[in-house]
Amino acid sequence: MDRRLNDAAGRLLLALAVALHRTVAGGPARERWQLRRNAALRAANRKGVPVAELAARLGLSEGWVRQVLNGRKPAEPPVIGEAA
């Protein structure tokens, strides 16, 4: 009986891992988060938040933020603090 419970729990954990991989770590999910982030940047700018403050809070360059605000798709900056 214990073996069947372990097998069922293992398969359930595998299903959870697959779901998380597809929704959080997958390429399309990353694209969706970036689109949401860019939309939030544009909305904040329309409400009067200056480009310098947007860039400082995100840790990005002002030029990168301006590209997003103008509707262009800049190359994603490297992740700060990522281990090599």
Q: Are 42 and 69 in contact (CB under 8 A)?
A: yes
The DSSP output letter for 77 is P
pLDDT in tens, 54-84: 888 988 899 998 998 998 776 665 555 555 4
- The pLDDT, as a whole number, for residue 35 is 87
pLDDT in tens, 33-47: 888 888 999 999 999
pLDDT at 3 over 80: no
- The pLDDT, as a whole number, for residue 84 is 45
pLDDT level of residue 4 (50, 70, 90 thresholds): confident
- The pLDDT, as a whole number, for residue 45 is 92
Q: Which structure tokens are listed for 13?
A: 């954990």
pLDDT in tens, 15-27: 877 777 677 777 7
29/20 Cα distance (integer angstroms): 10
